[in-house]
């Protein structure tokens, strides 16, 4: 069963589904973005993580001796995600809260206007 919201941004909408796992993405949230019109010519579509796993099966990779290799190589296999400030940081500020979609709300200003 596929997920009900985009694995990158968490929002509902029209998705492209990974043919190997339950992840789904908006066409513009996929990496790289997918044109809706190109769906008719696609046999299958795989998310970055599944594409990377498949490519590793087909070829062995020589690991570069570079301190940035783990960071740079992770860009090949990690699916995109919307940034969210960690909960422990959000709790440190009085009067600042996040609504359901992660948008910050200054509750001090709301109280002052009432």
Q: Quick one: 31 and 66 in the same domain?
A: yes
Q: Quick one: 34 and 90 in the same domain?
A: no
- Cβ-based burial of 31 (10 A; exposed 0-12, middle 13-18, buried ≥19): middle
- Cβ-based burial of 6 (10 A; exposed 0-12, middle 13-18, buried ≥19): buried
Q: Quick one: 19 and 65 in the same domain?
A: yes
Which structural domain, as residue segments, surrounds residue 58? 1-83
pTM, whole model, 2 decimals?
Answer: 0.58
Read off the tokens for 31: 């990496």
Q: Quick one: 50 and 89 in the same domain?
A: no
82 and 9 Cβ atoms separated by less than 8 Å: yes
Q: Quick one: 65 and 55 in the same domain?
A: yes
Model pLDDT for residues 53-87, shown as the tens digit of each residue: 877 665 545 555 677 877 777 777 788 888 777 77
Q: Quick one: 67 and 93 in the same domain?
A: no
Model pLDDT for residues 23-42, shown as the tens digit of each residue: 999 999 999 999 999 999 99
Cis upstream peptide for 49 (omega within 30°): no
Q: Quick one: 52 and 90 in the same domain?
A: no
- Report the domain count for the chain: 2
Indicate the pLDDT class of residue 91, thresholds 50, 70 and 90.
Answer: confident
Among 43, 44, 61, smallest CA distance to 52 is for 61
- Output the domain CATH number for residue 2: 3.30.40.10
Q: Is residue 101 pLDDT above 90, yes or no? A: no
């Amino acid at each position: 069963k596929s997920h009900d919201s985009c694995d990158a941004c968490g929002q509902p909408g029209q998705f492209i589904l990974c043919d190997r796992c339950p992840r789904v993405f908006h066409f513009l949230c996929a990496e790289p973005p997918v044109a809706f019109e190109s769906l008719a010519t696609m046999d299958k579509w795989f998310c970055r993580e599944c594409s990377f796993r498949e490519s590793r099966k087909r070829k062995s990779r020589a690991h570069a001796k570079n301190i940035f290799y783990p960071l740079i190589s992770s860009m090949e296999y990690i699916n995109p995600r919307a940034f969210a400030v960690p909960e422990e940081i959000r709790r440190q500020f009085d009067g600042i809260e996040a609504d359901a979609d992660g948008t910050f709300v200054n509750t001090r200003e709301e109280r002052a206007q009432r």
